[in-house]
Structure 1
Amino acid sequence: MENILVISRHPEILGVVVRLINQQPDWNAIGTCVDQDALQIFQKENIALVLLGNGILPEEEEKLRAELLAINPAVLIIQHYGGGSGLLVCEIRQALEHQVVIG
């Protein structure tokens, strides 16, 4: 089971993304809108991938990436701005299979 941390500034979108990810049998999504909560979750859980949603300001994203990578330099961090459930699943699957950082 791959744990995926979803960070978004929009609670409604976050809920949808988490639900879509959790429909995949091998994935478990954990979501938050708050960076400090994300860092706490990241430190406690074995996170395979971090998905950054829309609405995170560039300076917030830069700081968040630096903090996540300081904890685990090998973590995958990708961005998802929408485009439907098929695109979301494809982006995550591609990143996990190829172990590449996208975004």
Structure 2
Amino acid sequence: MKTIAILYIGGHLEITATVVRLLNAVPAWSGVGVMNIEEAKKVFMENKFTIVLLGSGIEEENEIDLRAFFKKQNPQIIIVQHYGGGSGLLKSEILLAIEQA
């Protein structure tokens, strides 16, 4: 089974750590979390991600910039707005995004 690489960009340290832990708890997923816009771009360029999760705490202007950057670099990238909630919601958001891609 192919591993799905997921980049999570968050605005809160504790939430970012929790989301990355939840992502990596799924055997078929590999999650990386960052909290800095420039670091997100750097990590994205150094890895082959399938999905980018945009968490809360990202300013709208930065979110628009990130979406444009990721799509320019990889038009097939799946970008998901993660609204929070438990691990069930996170898993549902990711599975729905993959299904719709």
Query: Into which bin does the TM-score normalised by the smaller protein fall?
Result: over 0.9
Aligned with 1:18 (options 10, 17, 20) = 20
How many pairs does the alignment contain?
Answer: 99
| Aligned residues: CA RMSD | 0.8
**Which residue in the other structure is 1:55 paired with?**
57
Deviation for aligned residue 1:17: 0.3
**Which residue in the other structure is 1:84 paired with?**
86
In 2, Cα distance between equivalents of 1:18 and 1:97 = 21
**Which residue in the other structure is 1:32 paired with?**
34
Q: TM-score, normalised by structure 2?
A: 0.94
Question: Identical aligned pairs, as a percentage?
Answer: 44
- Flag structure 1 segments of 5+ consecutive residues without an equivalent: none
Deviation for aligned residue 1:57: 1.0
**Which residue in the other structure is 1:66 paired with?**
68
Q: TM-score, normalised by structure 1?
A: 0.92
